[in-house]
C-alpha cells in the first residue's frame, strides 16, 4: 500500500475505509436568521443561515416560484494559510452546486415573487467542505420552516491508495486518486449532486456510490436528531413557562 493507508488497512487518522469522522449537527444557533444550522465532519466545520422568504426586486423575481440564492464562502481563518474574504471563482462555483443540490427538494412554488437566501460559511476546512455546507444548509432550511420534500444529506467518497474510502479528509483530498462529493435525498432515494475529480472503473464507481449512500443515511439521522433536539428543548421551555405563569 501507499502512504495514506497502512498495512493494517487503516487511514492516516486511524479510520477504516468505510468509517466517517466524528459528526456534530445543530439547529437554531443564529438568533438573527430565520433558520440556521451547524454541521461538522471532524475538523471541517460549516455554519448556515437562512433568510426569507422575503421580497425581491421586480427584475429578479419569478412570478410562479421563489428564487433560491446560496452564497458559500470560506472564512479567512478556515485554512492554514489565510484565504481572501472576497468571492473567488471556486466559491461561486460551489455556491451554484449547492443551490442545484437543494432546490429540487424545496417547494419554491409556495412563495412566488420572493427570494430565499442561504448564507454558508466554512469556519474550518479539512476537505469535504461543500458536503458539510449542504448538510448545514439543509438543517437551516428546515429550521426556518421552509416546506421541503426531505432533507438533503451529503458526504464525499474517493479512492486512496487504490482503496474506495468514505468521507475524504486531510491529505486524502490532496494526494488521493479520486474525490467524489455526493448529495442524496433519502426519502426519494435520489442523488442531487455527483461530481468526480479523477477516474474510476464502472465497478469502483458503483461501490463508491453505494458507500456514499450509506454515509448519507448516517448524516440524515444526525440532521434529524439536531432538529428534533431543538424543538424538544423549545417544548420544555414552554412547559417551564406555563408552570411559572409565563406561558401563552
The answer to whether the beta carbons of residues 175 and 15 sit under 8 Å apart is no
* Closest to 111 in 3D by CA, of 220, 183, 34: 34
Percent of the chain clearing pLDDT 70 (strictly above): 90
The answer to whether the beta carbons of residues 99 and 115 sit under 8 Å apart is no
pLDDT in tens, 60-71: 889 999 999 999
pLDDT in tens, 221-239: 999 999 999 988 776 556 5
pLDDT of 212 above 50:
yes
Write the DSSP string, 104-136: TTB-GGGSTTEEEEEEEEEEE-SS-HHHHHHHH
∠ at Cα 200 (124, 95), nearest 5°?
Answer: 35
Q: Mean pLDDT for the chain?
A: 92
Write the DSSP string, the chain: --SSB-TTS-BTTS--TT-PPPEEEEE---TTSSEEEEEEETTEEEEEEEEEEEE--TTT-BTTBPEEEEEEEE-TTSSSSPPPSS--HHHHHHHHHHHHHHHTTB-GGGSTTEEEEEEEEEEE-SS-HHHHHHHHHHHHHHHTT--BSS--EEEEEEEETTEEEES--THHHHH-SEEEEEEEETTTTEEEEE--BS---HHHHHHHHHHHHHHHHHHHHHHHHHHHHHHHHHHHHHHHHHHTT---
pLDDT of 169 above 80:
yes
pTM: 0.91
* Residue 241: band (very low, low, confident or very high) from pLDDT cuts 50, 70, 90: low
* Residue 2: band (very low, low, confident or very high) from pLDDT cuts 50, 70, 90: low
Query: Domains (ranges, CATH) in the chain?
Result: 23-243 (3.30.230.70)
pLDDT of 84 above 80:
no
* Closest to 73 in 3D by CA, of 32, 117, 130: 130
- How far is it, in rounded angstroms, from Cα 130 to Cα 73? 10
Pairing of strands 35-41, 190-194: unpaired
Q: What is the pLDDT of residue 3?
A: 87
Amino acid at each position: 500500500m501507499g502512504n495514506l493507508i497502512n498495512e493494517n488497512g487503516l487511514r492516516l487518522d486511524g479510520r477504516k475505509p468505510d468509517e466517517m469522522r466524528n459528526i456534530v449537527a445543530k439547529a437554531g444557533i443564529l438568533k438573527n436568521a430565520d433558520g440556521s444550522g451547524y454541521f461538522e465532519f471532524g475538523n471541517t466545520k460549516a455554519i448556515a443561515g437562512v433568510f426569507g422568504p422575503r421580497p425581491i426586486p421586480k427584475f429578479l423575481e419569478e412570478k410562479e416560484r421563489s428564487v433560491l440564492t446560496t452564497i458559500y464562502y470560506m472564512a479567512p481563518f478556515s485554512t492554514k494559510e489565510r484565504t481572501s474574504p472576497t468571492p473567488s471563482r471556486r466559491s461561486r462555483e460551489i455556491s451554484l452546486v449547492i443551490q442545484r443540490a437543494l432546490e429540487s427538494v424545496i417547494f419554491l412554488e409556495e412563495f412566488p415573487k420572493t427570494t430565499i437566501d442561504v448564507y454558508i460559511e466554512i469556519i474550518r476546512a479539512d476537505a469535504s467542505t461543500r458536503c458539510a455546507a449542504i448538510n448545514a444548509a439543509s438543517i437551516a432550511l428546515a429550521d426556518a420552516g421552509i416546506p421541503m420534500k426531505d432533507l438533503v444529506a451529503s458526504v464525499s467518497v474517493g479512492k486512496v491508495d487504490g482503496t474506495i474510502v468514505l468521507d475524504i479528509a486531510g491529505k486524502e483530498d490532496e494526494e488521493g486518486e479520486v474525490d467524489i462529493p455526493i448529495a442524496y435525498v433519502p426519502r426519494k432515494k435520489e442523488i442531487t449532486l455527483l461530481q468526480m475529480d479523477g477516474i474510476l472503473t464502472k465497478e469502483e464507481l458503483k461501490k463508491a456510490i453505494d458507500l456514499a449512500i450509506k454515509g448519507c443515511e448516517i448524516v440524515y439521522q444526525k440532521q434529524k436528531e439536531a432538529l428534533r433536539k431543538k424543538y424538544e428543548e423549545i417544548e420544555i421551555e414552554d412547559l417551564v413557562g406555563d408552570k411559572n405563569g409565563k406561558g401563552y
